[in-house]
């Protein structure tokens, strides 16, 4: 949840973004700096800051924290009053273990925008990492009273994970509870969707596995991994991934429906129907679950399934 909307880079900065995607992130920063010196108008400065944010996120994607920091520092030089830039700098510094500097960056973001929910959550998690768990919990409870909590159960699980010193899982639950967005993660999910649409399930699964190394407690990622694994024809792997998604988020109806699809693909239609029944008990109007139950319960489906079983037995 950033104070400014996320926008794609304008055409004049497509070249440095392409350089950054090819691994030439420092060169991309130099290119953008040069463009700003050439054109000193307000619009170019805003566009350059946005392009530098993209370069920084591309660096984060591959663990190139030095180039990510350089890009975001350059963006802050251009636009020091944008709180989301200070917030992103804080997250980069946390990733490399420079907590004191990270705290200053988060405080800068909050000085500019006191209601910046994501920065308040990140600061509380930083407090907890430094042993101030009581203070972190109190700060988050205050936040929960002041802001709309979309998923109260996830919020409570986040607080419980924090008490158990599981920072990654706490952050994942709190992000889901408060509907906090992560633009870097959103970019990866967009790439995943593109790969799936092009039928490149193996590449999509590989992308999600890489992302899980950074976000190991995000149930949505296990759901997407299970989806890609099922597309690859690996139902056992898909079942394990979806089970992990449901372990992290028991009310994740989309993951439960996908779990039912895996069971049906394995020829376990009665079990699949039972799983759909669980979804419909919690959410009677769940359209996909209703449609699948009707399809799998039809006499034609039952006969086809019996025929497959008979052929396997012979």
**pTM value?**
0.71
- Dihedrals φ, ψ of 296, to 5°? -75, -15
pLDDT digit string (tens) for 113-159?
998 999 999 999 999 999 999 999 999 999 999 988 988 999 999 99
Whole-angstrom Cα distance, residue 103 to residue 111? Answer: 12
Whole-angstrom Cα distance, residue 268 to residue 262? Answer: 9
Q: Which residues of 98-128 are buried (b: 16+ CB within 10 A; e: fewer)?
A: beebbbebbebbbebbeebbbbbbbbbbbbb
Report, as ranges of residue numbers, the positions in the chain whose pLDDT lies below 70. Answer: 1-11, 299-314
Q: In the numeric block, which tokens belong to residue 109?
A: 């973001």
Asked whether the beta carbons of 185 and 208 are under 8 A apart, the reply is no
What domains appear along the chain, each with residue ranges and CATH number? 1-102 (1.25.40.10), 115-181 (no CATH), 183-313 (1.25.40.10)
Q: In the numeric block, which tokens belong to residue 70?
A: 């350089």
pLDDT digit string (tens) for 97-110?
999 999 999 999 99
Whole-angstrom Cα distance, residue 184 to residue 187? Answer: 5
């Amino acid at each position: 949840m950033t104070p400014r909307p996320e926008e794609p880079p304008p055409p004049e900065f497509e070249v440095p973004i392409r350089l950054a995607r090819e691994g030439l992130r420092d060169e991309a920063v130099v290119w953008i700096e040069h463009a700003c010196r050439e054109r000193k108008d307000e619009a170019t400065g805003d566009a350059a800051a946005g392009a530098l944010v993209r370069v920084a996120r591309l660096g984060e994607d591959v663990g190139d924290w030095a180039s990510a920091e350089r890009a975001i520092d350059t963006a802050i030089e251009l636009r020091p009053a944008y709180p989301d830039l200070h917030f992103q700098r804080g997250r980069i510094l946390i990733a490399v273990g420079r907590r004191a500097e990270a705290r200053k960056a988060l405080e800068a973001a909050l000085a500019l925008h006191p209601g910046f929910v994501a920065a308040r959550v990140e600061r509380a998690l930083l407090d907890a990492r430094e042993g101030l768990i009581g203070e972190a919990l109190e700060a988050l409870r205050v936040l929960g009273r002041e802001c709309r909590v979309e998923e109260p159960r996830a919020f409570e699980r986040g607080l419980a994970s924090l008490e158990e010193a599981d920072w990654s899982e706490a952050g994942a639950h709190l992000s889901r509870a408060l509907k906090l967005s992560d633009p870097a993660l959103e970019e990866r999910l967009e790439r995943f969707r593109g790969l799936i649409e092009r039928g490149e399930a193996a590449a999509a699964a590989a992308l999600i596995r890489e992302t899980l190394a950074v976000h190991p407690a995000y149930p949505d990622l296990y759901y997407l991994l299970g989806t890609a694994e099922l597309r690859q024809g690996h139902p056992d792997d898909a079942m394990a991934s979806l089970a992990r998604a449901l372990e992290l988020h028991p009310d994740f109806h989309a993951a439960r429906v996908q779990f039912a699809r895996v069971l049906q693909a394995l020829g376990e239609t009665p079990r699949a129907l039972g799983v759909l029944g669980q979804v419909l008990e919690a959410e009677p109007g769940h359209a996909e679950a209703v449609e699948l139950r009707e399809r799998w319960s039809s006499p034609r489906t039952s006969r086809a399934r019996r025929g497959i079983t008979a052929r396997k037995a012979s």
